[in-house]
Structure 1
């Protein structure tokens, strides 16, 4: 596929990009745009420099991400990963992923009086033990 990067046309294919980037160690992604190639995240500028053999100042990361997207690679912005989601306890996060109820454990919808109640009902803890005789 013909791509234009830094005003120069390049005939690139996905297989060529994969082969070129196979032995390249990815630099750390520090908030800019990045390209996912295989299981690795490469900064867009690094990918552009390796593939075009041009200086990184000659092109923008936007040009590289447009070209890589057209070739079928996934491109992301580093700002997307910088915003953490509200942390939920693991059980609630799993329940939300499965589409379960969103009530917290021991909340108003908990059966049998909540987590502090014994299995027999909502009697207070420390009461008479019916098993002791």
Structure 2
């Protein structure tokens, strides 16, 4: 599937995204995330790996849109409740 992330076109295939992320240890999830296989990764971590771009070059929304179209399940940022 062709998608545009940070003004660059990418041809992404679900199997290739899964292969790229295999063996990658997920960072702690503090923002929006995506489930790949049985692991949950931060969106920005996945975006950086599959595009080779710096995390500051693309938005979370761009990567969520692309991964959702590929059939991955994306999750919103976890909510934190203030402690009193």
TM-score by length of 2: 0.91
For structure 2, which runs of at least 5 residues remain unmatched after alignment?
none
Aligned length: 81
Provide the alpha-carbon RMSD of the alignment: 1.3
- Tell me if 1:24 matches 2:19: no
Following superposition of structure 1 onto structure 2, how do residues 39-54 of structure 1 map, counting pairs within 5 Å? Answer: 39-54=38-53
**Deviations, residues 53-73 of structure 1 (Å, cap 9, x unaligned):** 000000011110100000000
- Correspondence for 1:15: 15
Give secondary structure in 1 for the equivalent of 2:53. Answer: coil
- Correspondence for 2:3: 3
- Correspondence for 2:64: 65
Q: Give the Å deviation of 1:23.
A: 1.1
Question: Aligned partners of 2:80, 2:49: CA distance in 1, in Å?
Answer: 29
Q: Give the Å deviation of 1:83.
A: 6.6
Question: Aligned partners of 1:83, 1:23: CA distance in 2, in Å?
Answer: 29
Question: Aligned partners of 2:34, 2:4: CA distance in 1, in Å?
Answer: 17
Q: Give the Å deviation of 1:29.
A: 0.3
For structure 1, which runs of at least 5 residues remain unmatched after alignment?
85-133
Give secondary structure in 2 for the equivalent of 1:78. Answer: coil
Give secondary structure in 2 for the equivalent of 1:65. Answer: helix
Question: Aligned partners of 2:76, 2:15: CA distance in 1, in Å?
Answer: 23
